[in-house]
Amino acid sequence: MKKRAVIYCRVSTADQHPETQLYDLREMAKQRGYEIVHEYSDTISGAKSKRPGLDQLMTDARRHRFDAVPVAAFDRVAKSVRHSLEVLDELNHLGIEFVSFRENIDTGGPLGRAIVVIVGAIAELERNLIIERVKAGMRRAKLEGGQIGRAPMKIDRQQVIRARRSGMSLGQVAEKHHISRASVCRLVKEARATAHLVNGPDSVVTGHEERPAAAA
């Protein structure tokens, strides 16, 4: 049986035309004895990882609707090594050959598979180096007394509680103080717990205020 193949081509702008890519890929598929079952294309920058044509291709790949993917060049799939590797790795796990016309690489052969492994190792090394640089930067910032992570929010707790007790709704208080409704609830509950500790277990809440219960 002939291998089922799909063609993927991409151009960056609308004034570019994919016909040249399609012609070369159709000829290559014919020479390899592939049966072209579909053609996907995108007109979008290669820097963008989300593309309708490529996304549909990967969806169909997961449904095992073809056996090979000829492309004009690696950079037609993605500009970044990381994204290219993600696509290649998934196709490889699905048992689908990836064939690059310009680089003359076919992952169906031993050399092509070896290249994928080498590229993967380089990409993993790059990721690890980035992680180490981030950790080193965080350690340096900590030693220098810098802020690590998001700065804590400055909230006037008493104003939030007074606003809630004045009759404002949770949403109104949250909007006024630029916090979430959940934060308002938490601050009010903490205030009630503190009042109970200070005023004793008999303190009660009437309306929006807290006060000790009247003696019997």
Q: Annotated catalytic residue: which of 12, 80, 183, 203?
A: 12
The answer to whether residues 34 and 107 belong to one domain is yes
Count of other CB atoms within 10 angstroms of residue 106: 18
* Model pLDDT, residue 149: 59
* Model pLDDT, residue 214: 46
The answer to whether residues 24 and 89 belong to one domain is yes
* Model pLDDT, residue 96: 92
Is residue 151 a part of any domain in this protein?
no
* Model pLDDT, residue 151: 54
Helix residue ranges per DSSP H, 44-169: 52-62, 74-77, 81-93, 110-143, 157-165
Phi/psi at 75 (nearest 5 deg)? -70, -10
Q: Which helix (H) or strand (E) holds 43?
A: strand 35-43
The answer to whether residues 169 and 77 belong to one domain is no
Q: Which residues of the chain have pLDDT under 70?
A: 46-49, 79-81, 116, 119-120, 123, 146-153, 196-216
From residue 123, alpha-carbon distances to 90, 93, 130 in Å are 15, 18, 11
From residue 155, alpha-carbon distances to 69, 152, 180, 184, 208 in Å are 56, 9, 12, 10, 20
Sign of the four-CA dihedral 176, 177, 180, 185: negative
* Model pLDDT, residue 36: 95
Is residue 36 a part of any domain in this protein?
yes
The answer to whether residues 9 and 59 belong to one domain is yes
* Model pLDDT, residue 27: 93
Sequence letter at residue 12: S
Catalytic site residue 12?
yes
Q: How far apart are CA 19 and CA 101, in angstroms?
A: 15
The answer to whether residues 18 and 80 belong to one domain is yes
* Model pLDDT, residue 58: 93
The answer to whether residues 43 and 111 belong to one domain is yes
* Model pLDDT, residue 86: 81
User: CA angle 20-22-23, nearest 5°?
Assistant: 65
* Model pLDDT, residue 57: 94
Q: What is the pTM of this model?
A: 0.52
Q: How far apart are CA 81 and CA 96, in angstroms?
A: 19
Provide the domain count of the chain: 2
Query: Which domain does 45 fall in, by range?
Result: 4-123
* Model pLDDT, residue 34: 94
Phi/psi at 32 (nearest 5 deg)? -85, -5
Is residue 165 a part of any domain in this protein?
yes
Residues 166-194 pLDDT 10s? 888 888 888 888 888 888 888 888 888 77
* Domain end marker among 123, 149, 177: 123
* Model pLDDT, residue 46: 57
Tokens 């965080």 correspond to 138
* Model pLDDT, residue 37: 96
The answer to whether residues 184 and 105 belong to one domain is no
Give the 3-state secondary structure percentages of the chain, helix then strand then coil, rounded to 5. Answer: 50, 15, 30
Q: How far apart are CA 73 and CA 27, in angstroms?
A: 15
CATH number, domain of 100, equals 3.40.50.1390
